[in-house]
A = this chain, B = another copy of it.
Amino acid sequence: MQIAIVGLGRMGANIARRLMRGGHEIVAYDVSKDAVQALSREGAMPAGSLEDLVAKLKAPRAVWVMLPAGKITEDCIAVLSGLLSAGDTVIDGGNTYYKDDVRRAAALREKSLTYIDVGTSGGVWGLDRGYCMMIGGDKGAVDRLDPIFATLAPGVGSIDKTPNRESRDPRVEQGYMHCGPAGSGHFVKMVHNGIEYGMMQAFAEGFEIMQGRANEDLPEAERFTLDLPDIAEVWRRGSVVSSWLLDLTSQALAEKPALDNFTGIVSDSGEGRWTVEAAIEEAVPAHVLSASLYARFSSRRPGSFANRLLSAMRAKFGGHVEPK
């Protein structure tokens, strides 16, 4: 079927490519004319502006917005909502805060437009592996766009079937899911990323404990110099921690066992923060998800005010001097 893609960065361009490979017709727009031309050479119909893009679509139109979350997406959808007609659909495929989805869906509904939020996981690997999609919004529109989602999804693949799912929605096993009303897709994606933070931090701490086992302060018989690349690899077969993150860990360690190509200053995107805020709103204790987020904050704050205050108190009550 026909769909427009707005935003042809790495994610947007790959989504367009995977859809074209699946036989869909793409109208492509980006503020960068080069990006539009590049995708045009791969078979997309180029659009010179949002007006042009809307004009090139047959009603009911579908526009997939794949831009950085926040003001850029907000503004683009505002403009689109002035150009589209009743019955058209806007899909936000970015990393939008779910409360923004709820608000936008209500605003578009006023204009008889439909808003769909799609959380996607799979990142740079999605073009080939497919995108795992969590979809929120009006059921009718989600059903109408099913060919799009089916093409983008990873499909059943060679993964073992889970028993007791006979009576359940078969799309889920293809790797996409209609989660509920507007906002629910990005909500589920947000929690997914919160869990991802926790899993990453669990691996990070475990590997640091193993790396630290060669420390010369330890008793000699309890000191081990462990081969971390081999440990990551061996766990990939039959162990309880086997996972895609472990696969990637094994790859990274095989390339550079000391990881000295990294500084250890770790960014966070919004999802980890929003997950903790959602937990607090619901009074759910989220020790691990919070600690994972804070570990990233700490990585960016050496010599923080908090730590200096600890030293100041220790100097006051015990005359303790900081180590050099």
A-B contact pairs, 23 of them (CB 8 A): A121-B241, A122-B238, A124-B317, A132-B238, A134-B234, A162-B254, A164-B251, A175-B238, A177-B227, A177-B230, A183-B222, A187-B226, A191-B206, A194-B206, A197-B202, A204-B305, A215-B282, A242-B243, A242-B244, A252-B309, A265-B311, A276-B290, A296-B310
A82 adjacent to chain B (CB < 8 Å)? no
Q: Does A295 contact B (CB under 8 A)?
A: yes
Contacts known (A165-B254, A238-B130); A262 close to B308, Cβ less than 8 A: yes
Pick the interface stretch among A22-30, A43-51, A70-78, A149-157: A149-157
Q: Mark A128-147, 1 if CB is under 8 A from B, else 0.
A: 01111110000000000000
B231 touches A177 (CB 8 A): yes
**Complex CA distance for A132 and B86, rounded to whole angstroms:** 58
Q: Assuming A180-B225, A240-B244, A276-B280, what are 16 further A-B pairs, CB within 8 angstroms?
A: A98-B222, A130-B238, A162-B247, A165-B229, A172-B233, A194-B209, A204-B309, A205-B286, A212-B282, A248-B313, A262-B312, A264-B303, A264-B307, A264-B308, A264-B310, A265-B322
- A315: which B residues are within 8 A, CB to CB? 252, 262
Q: Are A309 and B207 in contact (CB under 8 A)?
A: yes
Inter-chain contacts of A305 with B (CB < 8 A) = 204, 207-208, 211-212, 259, 264
Copies in the complex: 4
Task: Tell yes or no: A69 within 8 A of B by CB.
Answer: no
CB-CB contacts below 8 Å: A245-273 with B: 245-256, 259-260, 262-268, 273
A37 CA / B124 CA spacing, docked (Å): 56
Please name the residue on chain B nearest to A190 by beta carbon. Answer: B209
* A21 at interface, CB cutoff 8 A: no
Q: Which of A197, A267, A280, A306 has the most CB of B within 10 A?
A: A306
- Would A263 and B172 be within 8 Å (CB), given that A132-B235, A209-B194, A231-B188 are in contact? no
CB contacts (< 8 Å) of A176 on chain B: these are: 234
| Chain B residues, CB < 8 A from A295 | 285, 287-288, 298, 306-307, 310
Whether A309 touches B203, Cβ cut-off 8 Å, given contacts A237-B130, A287-B291, is yes
